[in-house]
Amino acid sequence: MGKRIRLAVIFGGRSAEHKISLLSSVSVINTLDRTRYDIVRIGIDPQGQWFFYPGDYLWDEDDPAKVRLRDDGISIALAPGTGRMQIFDLSRNREIKPVDAVFPVLHGPYGEDGTMQGLLKIMGVPFVGCDVLGSALCMDKVVAKKILQHEGIPTPAFLSFLKNQKESIRFEDICSKLGMTVFVKPANLGSSVGINRVNSEGSLIYALETAFKYDNKIIIEEAVPGREIECSVLGNDRLTASVPGEIVVRDDFYSYKAKYLDENGALLLFPASLEPEITARVQELAKRAYRALSCRGMARVDFFLKEDGTVLVNELNTIPGFTRISMYPRLMELSGVPYRELLDRLIELGFE
């Protein structure tokens, strides 16, 4: 057996998806092969402070609503290395052994949007997942959809607005272009945070207030009647698209509560019951969208399937949820790549 890779798993972060990142990190850390990796746990608190955890790092890890970082982490700072990331213990003014590679398990801004990826590139350390450009493009839903449109990849109709345009947004104008029911979302966020379904003037006012709390730019999308389908993509140049899965939502839409807090909020079907030609279409569009948005390593591609068989790409997530029941690893496992092997391959792709 060769030398073990010293792998930093980074979790938490400043975004509204902080708790989701903590939940994903537990599955990743518990599954990584200890004969291959020496794991370094690095948590970022909601204020952006970085901490090293030699052992346990979470309180209430079994409660998605209460999970949080422990308050006994070692405060650290980073410095560029030569192909390795240097870590310094600020309390003792000493260096902690550097790491060979990084697995960022961060969702949303300050982690999934290219900022962390840029930092890691400056550090000169290999990392799992998309590069700076792919991360940034996929995080900004407006820019991503414009690129999909340019590439001829079907996506739902949408409008976008900046915060200083808020007073000019009219419900009747939205309806005339997108229909009577729409979804209002922050442009740069995931996990259904800040999203609302709108079908009246009053609900639009509330949805705008909510979305602009999280971002200075929002996207308003048409409500697409049909099924919600997801497909996992793995690879850099040679791509593997998984069998598709389906989300059957029990409420108006796949909300944050349905995803993480209510065990009965949605039914996840592995795999989706689709005609072979629809499965092939989903996999083809998943790869096309992945390449169009400069993805590397991994992404989960989310679709709408209309009753007439039309397949629309909704969005791409470059650091999807990574709990054992999350769609990305479940679909890869169904496609012949078990969870532990998936983690190994993602790390290899990072070095590649």
Residue ranges of domains in the chain, CATH in brackets: 5-127 (3.40.50.20), 137-155+225-351 (3.30.470.20), 158-222 (3.30.1490.20)
What pLDDT is recorded for position 251?
63
Rounded Cα–Cα distance for residues 122 and 208 (Å): 37
Q: Which is nearest to 54 in space by CA: 18, 19, 93, 87? A: 87
Tallying the residues shown for the chain, one arrives at 352
pLDDT < 70 regions, the chain: 1-2, 81-82, 190-192, 250-266
What pLDDT is recorded for position 83?
72
User: In the 8-state DSSP scheme, what is residue 223?
Assistant: -
C-alpha pair distances (Å), 278 with each of 268, 286, 290? 18, 12, 18
Q: pTM (2 decimals)?
A: 0.91
What pLDDT is recorded for position 284?
98
C-alpha pair distances (Å), 103 with each of 190, 282, 326? 19, 28, 17
Rounded Cα–Cα distance for residues 43 and 32 (Å): 17
What pLDDT is recorded for position 1?
42
* Strand residues in the chain grouped as ranges (E): 5-12, 37-44, 50-53, 58-59, 68-69, 74-79, 85-89, 94-99, 101-105, 158-162, 182-186, 196-198, 217-222, 227-235, 240-241, 245-249, 266-269, 297-305, 311-317
* SS3 assignment, position 202: helix
C-alpha pair distances (Å), 61 with each of 7, 66, 227, 239, 281? 22, 8, 32, 34, 39
What pLDDT is recorded for position 268?
83
Q: CA 52, 112, 191 angle in degrees (round to 5)?
A: 105
